[in-house]
Amino acid sequence: MGGEKAVCNFDEDIITIAVAAARDCLEGKEIEKVDGLFLATTTSPYKEKLAASIVAAALDLPPYIRTADFFDSLRSGTIAMNSAIDSVQSGVAEN
């Protein structure tokens, strides 16, 4: 039984992929209502610089939104999703 593995092209990283995915998700939506961006990856392109704020800027999201990076763990996606849900449930974020 053969498997399949997705890999980045030579000119892609988590930032370019996240921007493309977010543009698809936000199509037809009011970006002014976005109040958070949680980025998850097992391998960040930077050691110290945060990638979520770069993605938010590339999407022209409001400058006051909450951004957070989750990386260096196989559970990054789960932790980011739980943090986003917790933000909405606590009232810190609406969307």
Q: Give the pLDDT score at 9.
A: 79
Q: Give the pLDDT score at 1.
A: 57
In this prediction, the residues of the chain whose per-residue pLDDT falls under 50 are none
Q: Give the pLDDT score at 62.
A: 93
Q: Give the pLDDT score at 46.
A: 84
Q: Give the pLDDT score at 74.
A: 92
**Which segments within 1-95 are labelled E, that is strand?**
36-41, 66-71
Q: What are 66's strand-pairing partners?
A: 36
Contact 92, 66 (CB under 8 A): yes
Contact 60, 23 (CB under 8 A): no
pTM of the model: 0.85
Which class is 14-90 in CATH?
alpha beta
Burial of residue 66, with CB atoms counted within 10 A of its CB: 0-12 exposed, 13-18 middle, 19 or more buried = middle
Q: Give the pLDDT score at 87.
A: 94
| Nearest-angstrom CA–CA distance, 79 and 50 | 17
Q: Give the pLDDT score at 48.
A: 84
